[in-house]
Structure 1
Amino acid sequence: MPDRFSQHIDDRIAEEAAGWVARLQSSDATEQDRQEFQLWLKRDAAHRAAYDEFKHLWADLKDVPIPSDRLKKLRMSRRAAVRNIVAIGIIATLSVALYRMGFVDRMRADYYTAIGEVRSITLADGSRVDLNTDSAIVVRYSQGERRIQLLRGEAFFDVARNPERPFVVVDASLKATALGTQYGVRAASDASLGDVRVEQGRVEVTSSRDQVVLEAGGVASLTTQGRLAVTTADVANETAWRSGKLVFSGQPLRDVLATLERYRHGRIMVLDSAAAEQRVSGIFDLNDTDQALQVLEENLPVSVTHLTGLMVVVRSR
C-alpha cells in the first residue's frame, strides 16, 4: 500500500474524491456521472491528486488475497495473514471515517453542505431551505405531501403555504409538520438528540411518545426517554448562521467552542473546567473561526494553542 496518502489533502476534497472513486466503480455509474467527474477534476488541481490517492488505495486493497476456505487460512503465511488483517482494518477504518465525515449521507442526499458551508435552496413549490454546516436532506414531494428527510445537521425552512399538501420534516426521531411557518430542525448528533425551533407560525412536533404544537419562540427537544421537552428561546439569534453569524449570550465557553468546531476541520479541545465554564457573549463570523478563537483569547483568561492545522487546545492562563 502506498505511503503517499498524506495529510496535505484537505478533508473536504478527500471526501469528494472517495465519493467519485466509489461512484465511478459502481455498475450504476452513468455518462452524466462521468461528465460531472471531469468538471470536478478541472475545478482544482488538488482534485486529481486526491482522486489518484484514493484510487490507488482501493486498488491495493482489492489486490490483497482473501482466503476462500478454512484450509487456505491455515496455510497462509504470517506475512499474508498480517496483510489481510491490515487491509480489513483499513477498510473498516476508512468506512467509519467516511460515515462520520458525512460521506454516506451526502451520497444519499438531494442537497448537502460541506463543513463550514451554509447554503440556501429554493424548492419546487417555492419553499426555501437554509442548510447549516455539514448538513444533508432528501426531498420527496408527492401529490398529497411535501416531505423532507433531514439526514444530518441542521436546516431552516421558510414554507410556502399549501394546506392541500402538508410540509413535513422528519429525522430518525422527530417529525415536524408546518402549519404555515418558518422553523428550524436539528438532527440527532453527539451534542443533542435533536430539536425543533419555531421562528414564525406554528409547528406540530411528534416523537415516539409525545405530540406538541409549538408557537413562535417555542423549542421542542427530544430527551433520552423519548419525551419532548418544551422551552422558549430567541430563535432568530440561534439561527443567525443563516446570515453568516454566530450569536452567543452568556453561554459557557465549552458550548461556544463546540459550535465553532462544527464550522472547521479538526478538533477544539478545552483542557480544564475553569476555562470551559467561562461565559461568552458576542457575535462572530462563522466563516472565520480562527478570528473568533483569537477574540476569545484576547477577552477571556484563556490561552489558545494551534497544535496542528487540525487540533486546537484551549486552557486557562
Structure 2
Amino acid sequence: MTAPRSDEDMVVEWCLRLSDGSMSSEDRDKLHDWLAGDATRGERLGAALAVWDAVDADADAPEMLALRREALGAVHRAGQRRWLRTKFVSQPILWAIAAALLLTLALGSLLWRQDGRDEYRTGIGERRVIALADGSRLSLDADSVVTVSFTAQRRNVVLERGRARFKVAKDPLRPFAVRSGRNMVVATGTEFSVERLSREVRVALFEGRVAVLRDTPQGQTSEIVRRDGRSVTAERALTPGYEIGLPVAGTIGSIGPVIGPMGGGEGWGAEQISFTSETLGTAAERINRYAERRRITVDPGVADVRISGVFNVGDVDAFAQAIAATFPVDATVDDAEIRLRRRR
C-alpha cells in the first residue's frame, strides 16, 4: 500500500508543474482540490514559487552553492527524480526547486490570512514581488495593500491602496478579477497594472486584453472612454502600451500611452520618477509613496496645476523646491509635511 504524499512533497510537485507551464485541465482540477483541502497550502505553494524565481535567477551565485547538497537530497526524498528526467530539467533547476521546498516554511511566516483572504502590503518606499498560488505574479508598489481570495471558480483581488502590476497565469476556467473602488478589471491570462488614486483609478495594459467594468445601480456595466473623438468601451480602446484613467466622479474615462515601463514613469526599483502633464495633486500622491521623512500636502487651489519633469524617488524636498521655483506656489515646510499652496 502506498503511503500518502506529504504536503511538503506536494508543494514541490505543484511548484514544478506550475513553473513548467504544461498544466492540463485535469491537473488544474487536481490542484484546485488539493488547495481546497488546507487553507495554508496556497500560502506555502506561493512562497515556493517565489523562491523558485529567486533561486533560479541566482543559481550560480556563491552564496547559493551551499544549498546544493541539501536540495538534491530533498528532491530525492520527494520522489521527483523520475518525473524530472522525463521533463529534461537541468540539475541547477532541480536543486533550485528543492531549495524552494527547504525555504517554504520560513517564507510562509511572512504571509498571513485575514477572514479567509491573503493580505499583502508594502510600507513607504518598499516594493515587493509575490508569487500567487495559481502561478500569477503580483508586483506591489510602495505604500500599497491588496487582498487575494482564490476559489475553484474565480481568482479575486482587491487593491485597497496604491498600485499593483499583475502577470496573470492563463486559466480560461477561472477569471482573474481585480477590484478597486467601483471598478473591476477582469482577465484570464495577461499583464496589466491597476493604480488607485484619490480622484481616479488607472489601468495600464502591457500584454493581452482585459475587460474593465464599473458598478452601477443597474449592475456592472462596461467602462466607457473617449478615444480619437469617439466614445468606446474600455475593452475595445485599451491596447498594450496604453492606460486609461477612470474618474471616481463621472462616467467618461480618458486614454493615453503608458509613460515608462510601469506606467507613471517609474519602473520597480527605479531611482527616479517622471511626470508628463500630470496634475500636481496626483504627482504628490505618487511621490508620497516613497516619502520616508515628510509628506507633501497639496491645497485644492493648486491641485490641478499640470507639471512635467523627472525627480529622484523619495526626495520630496527637491520636488517641492522645483514646483515653487516654476509655478506661483509656496512651499511651507515643517517636520511632518511640506504644504503646497497658491502664492499670495
TM superposition score category, shorter chain reference: 0.5 to 0.7
Q: How high is the TM-score relative to the length of structure 2?
A: 0.50
Alignment of 1:194-205 (within 5 A): 194-205=201-212
Q: Give aligned pairs, total.
A: 207
Q: Once the two structures are superposed, what CA deviation does each residue of 1:182-206 show, in whole Å capped at 9, x if it has no partner?
A: 211134x5x2243422232211111
Q: CA deviation at 1:254?
A: 4.2
1:111 corresponds to which residue? 120
User: Which residue does 1:144 correspond to in 2?
Assistant: 153
Number of the residue aligned with 1:156: 165
Matched with 2:277 is: 250
Equivalent residue, structure 2, for 1:178? 187
Give the superposition deviation at 1:160.
2.2
Describe the shift of the 1:253–1:139 C-alpha distance in structure 2 as closer, same or farther (beyond 3 A).
Answer: closer
Structure 1 segments unaligned to the other structure (5+ residues): 1-104
Per-residue deviation, residues 208-232 of structure 1 (Å, max 9, x unmatched): 242141322141514435x452523
Residue by residue over 1:291-313, the C-alpha shift from the partner in whole angstroms, topping out at 9 and shown as x without a partner, is 43345456666554422x21213
Give the superposed CA RMSD: 3.3
Relative to structure 1, the CA distance from residue 297 to residue 208 in structure 2 (aligned partners, 3 Å threshold; closer, same or farther) is closer
8 Å contact from structure 2 (residues 149, 156) kept in 1? yes
Offset of 1:157 from its aligned partner?
0.9
Q: Write the letter of the residue equivalent to 1:152.
A: R
| Cα offset, 1:110, TM superposition | 1.8
After superposition, the Cα gap between the structure-2 partners of 1:153 and 1:278, relative to the gap in structure 1 and judged at 3 Å, is closer
| Distance across 1 between alignment mates of 2:145 and 2:199 | 17
Deviations 1:206-261 (A, max 9, x none): 11242141322141514435x45252332544162524342111334444334323
Whole-angstrom distance in 2 between the partners of 1:180 and 1:127: 9
Give the aligned partner of residue 281 of structure 1: 308
Instruction: State whether residues 320 and 338 of structure 2, in contact with CA within 8 Å, keep that contact through their aligned partners in structure 1.
Output: no
Q: Alignment partner of 1:208: what SS?
A: strand
Q: Which deviations, in whole Å up to 9, do the C-alpha atoms of 1:100-135 show, x marking residues without a partner?
A: xxxxx9xx7521012332222122233221212321
* Cα distance in structure 1, aligned partners of 2:143 and 2:203: 18
Q: Quickly say closer, same or farther: Cα 1:276–1:158, change in 2 above 3 A.
A: same
Structure-2 separation of matches of 1:239 and 1:140: 30
Is 1:224 paired with 2:231? no
Say yes or no: does 1:312 pair with 2:332. no
Percent identity for Structure 1 against Structure 2: 30
Task: Verify: 1:259 aligned to 2:286, yes or no.
Answer: yes
Structure 2 residue runs without a partner (length 5+): 1-113, 223-232
CA contact (8 A) 1:159 1:181 kept: yes
2:134 corresponding residue in structure 1? 125
